[in-house]
Chains A and B, each alone.
Chain A
């Protein structure tokens, strides 16, 4: 019963976002601010994770491919598809659910508890449109970009690690990258990125926006939003794989 009530409130929050902005310039400024916060603010962690995840993929794939009949370039193929299909969109988005999600939930929660949201409401501003919409739109714009960067850096990390560990040369790696490449995989990765970025932004926004209480509740809402986002990302990952692959 509680789930249905919460889901109803979530849908109402999303529905409430669609109203005419009071001043487009102010909304644009807020949207750009959120793009910067979510995109630039998460770039560092995305770069580190992506490079190491690609590097480790190369080493572990090489460790398991011991047969001399399998060409070395297959390692690059496996790394490419693993990074593109799963690591870049799913792993990065799960990390972003923690980084971006907790920030969104705690920011909105703090605004709710300190009556800043009430202050905006009393000014005649639709707070769902002003506070929630720019966060969701910004996430849906910059998170897919981060996923693309992550995929590129993951493959590059694998290439560098393969050469550094003398597993395969960069020529073999590049050859493997081009073998049996399916552009559809990129499309699939982008579909996942868009779905996950919506989850990462809207779920924490919901928990933050409706916080009641004080500092303790803000912390709880932040944790809950990250947990729910991660579970939903994994669930959506399975559903998308079942439908699209």
Chain B
């Protein structure tokens, strides 16, 4: 579990994160949503320690991350996996070496054990026959999967995903969302996802934090968001006519007035 208590972060005179508090629960996909410039990336970078908050606390499993020394932070970071917006794979290493890198750095396993673990996680993210390919030779969706595989190879307690669906087609986005959701539940990981993607919000949003101009505007889940009366949130989520129609349909479904005969597994096939 991650507890965020009243964090404030500014750059110069500009306050980017203003007194935000939240609790990120294990086994759940905790989504941070908000328009561009709302501070969600800075918020996530504060959580993983790439930025130090000016005020407030970030508590990992009862330990105050913000006041830890570098060695303490290093220990916490070993329990963190992160999927970056651009995947951040190491260009000079192939897929297998990218995934094996954390194992090389932090374990004293034999080569055979490392190879076995790499193949396990590659199979888990449904990526086979790509072991020897370099990042430049694989598609955006495959890069995301390699990024996820690298993030989970050390069995992290915390998984951070910065816009995991950016640059992906809707179908691949669904596959990535489903994968993240499954991994979160399977390994009881505390997953924090920074996203713009409304599909993700509706499909995997166990907990949603909506940020507006640096502060937390709304908090709830993917059921509650449909019925939210928050005007700013509604303007953001249901920006297009299509999404407003989808909202109405979902409300009718929830009220039992129409039948939902969608099957996600069929769609993903």
Residues of A participating in the B interface, judged by any CB pair closer than 8 Å: 22-23, 25-26, 110, 114-116, 118-119, 121-126
- Is there contact, CB below 8 Å, between B86 and A115? yes
The 4 closest A-B pairs by CB, nearest first: A124-B77, A115-B88, A119-B88, A124-B74
The contact of B84 among A23, A110, A119, A126, by CB within 8 Å, is A119
Distance A118 CA – B74 CA, assembled complex (angstroms) = 13
- Is there contact, CB below 8 Å, between B105 and A110? no
Additional A-B contacts beyond A118-B50, A122-B77 (13; CB < 8 A): A22-B105, A23-B104, A110-B91, A114-B91, A119-B82, A119-B90, A121-B77, A122-B48, A122-B160, A123-B101, A124-B76, A124-B80, A124-B106
A-contact bits for B51-89, CB 8 A (1 contact / 0 none): 000000000000000000000011111101010111011
Contacts of A22 on B, CB cut-off 8 Å?
Answer: 105-106
Name B's interface SS. mixed
Distance A115 CA – B49 CA, assembled complex (angstroms) = 14
- Is there contact, CB below 8 Å, between A125 and B105? yes
- Is there contact, CB below 8 Å, between A115 and B75? no
Interface size on B, residues (CB 8 A): 24
Contacts of B80 on A, CB cut-off 8 Å?
Answer: 122, 124
- Is there contact, CB below 8 Å, between A26 and B88? no
A192–chain B nearest beta-carbon distance, Å: 32
Contacts of B220 on A, CB cut-off 8 Å?
Answer: none
Distance A26 CA – B88 CA, assembled complex (angstroms) = 19
- Is there contact, CB below 8 Å, between B88 and A116? yes
Contacts of A116 on B, CB cut-off 8 Å?
Answer: 88-91
Contacts of A115 on B, CB cut-off 8 Å?
Answer: 84-86, 88
State which residues 25-51 of B face A: CB under 8 Å. 48-50
- Is there contact, CB below 8 Å, between B105 and A114? no
